[in-house]
Amino acid sequence: MRLSAPIHRLKRTARDHARASAIPLHAALDQVAAGEGFASWSLLASKHADAASDPLSLYRSFAQGDLVLVAARPLQGKTMFALRLALSALGEGKAAHFFSLDYTESDVAERLDTLSDPNGVRLDVDCSDAISADHIIARLFGAPRGSFVAVDYLQLLDQKRTNPPLQQQIESLRDFARERGHIIAFVCQIDRRFDPDAAGIPGPADIRLPNPLDLALFSRAIFIHGGRVHEATGLPR
């Protein structure tokens, strides 16, 4: 499900329109929803929540060549969500790969066990310390077109000084994904300064970037906090 702007911005547009046009807020919300192709705001909000929170529905909305962020603070379920996306791909008959610089293979196996999904046995897992863009591309050389790839996690790709800068690695993976039609999802850290009491759920401005990276390289961004899942659009440069 793709919206022209994040849902909170659409709400703000509706509030501004309601004030400017002196119409009830619910009417302004419905008008904004109509512009997005929905009969009512309640239908848009319901479909948005369902699509973002259900890994299978979200996976089915991805396009070949997408680069996706799955971002959250620690212990909010971002790695499990990425694993569920990988299992969804397997369930749809696609190959799926999980690269982790954070977990061991036994760690991943334990998490797959909790999901009780028979597709997990077919998930290709790589927890090598050598993981980088070049390593991932080499491992996927013979992967079928449209494979799903999860990388855990984004900020560790350039932790070794011998690896290229993060910007360069993501550019290489973007070009590779577009050429081969793969979907690559990156588990991503959120800055410790994020305040859930003030914001509720993190957004693009909360992504932790210790090294420069153009977020416009990513086509989708999923944010998780407190059991809520939200997709943001229009990632800033």
One DSSP character per residue, 10-76 reads HHHHHHHHHHHHT--HHHHHHHHHHHTT-S-HHHHHHHHHHHHH-HHHHHHH--TT-EEEEEE-TTS
Pair 107, 209 in one domain? yes
On average, the pLDDT of the chain sits at 91
Assigned token pair, 18: 């309601």
Among the ranges given (14-28, 45-59, 169-183), the one the predictor scored with the smallest mean pLDDT: 45-59
Helices (H), 140-233: 166-180, 196-199
Pair 11, 91 in one domain? no
pLDDT the model gives residue 199: 83
Pair 22, 107 in one domain? no
Strand arrangement, sheet containing 183-189: 124-126, 96-100, 148-152, 183-189, 67-72, 220-225, 228-232
pLDDT the model gives residue 82: 97
Average pLDDT over residues 219-227: 92
Pair 44, 76 in one domain? no
Please check whether residue 154 lies inside any domain of the structure.
Answer: yes
Pair 21, 105 in one domain? no
Please check whether residue 101 lies inside any domain of the structure.
Answer: yes
Pair 97, 42 in one domain? no
CA atoms within 13 A on the CB side of 36: 27
Please check whether residue 58 lies inside any domain of the structure.
Answer: no
Does residue 120 register a pLDDT over 80?
yes
Structural domain tally of the chain?
Answer: 2
- Confidence band for 6, pLDDT divided at 50, 70 and 90: low
Pair 154, 208 in one domain? yes
Pair 97, 175 in one domain? yes
Query: What is each CA distance from 17 to 11, 46, 49, 63, in whole angstroms?
Result: 10, 22, 24, 33
Please check whether residue 57 lies inside any domain of the structure.
Answer: no
Express each pLDDT in 66-108 by its tens digit: 999 999 999 899 999 999 999 999 999 999 999 999 999 999 9
- Confidence band for 4, pLDDT divided at 50, 70 and 90: confident
Identify the CATH number of the domain in which residue 96 sits: 3.40.50.300
Residue in 11, 4, 64, 61 with CA at minimum distance from that of residue 36: 4
Residue 129 lies in domain: 63-232
Pair 83, 134 in one domain? yes
Pair 195, 107 in one domain? yes
- Confidence band for 153, pLDDT divided at 50, 70 and 90: very high
Global pTM reads 0.79
Assigned token pair, 206: 């909360």
Cis preceding linkage at 103, omega within 30:
no
Pair 131, 169 in one domain? yes
Average pLDDT over residues 33-44: 87
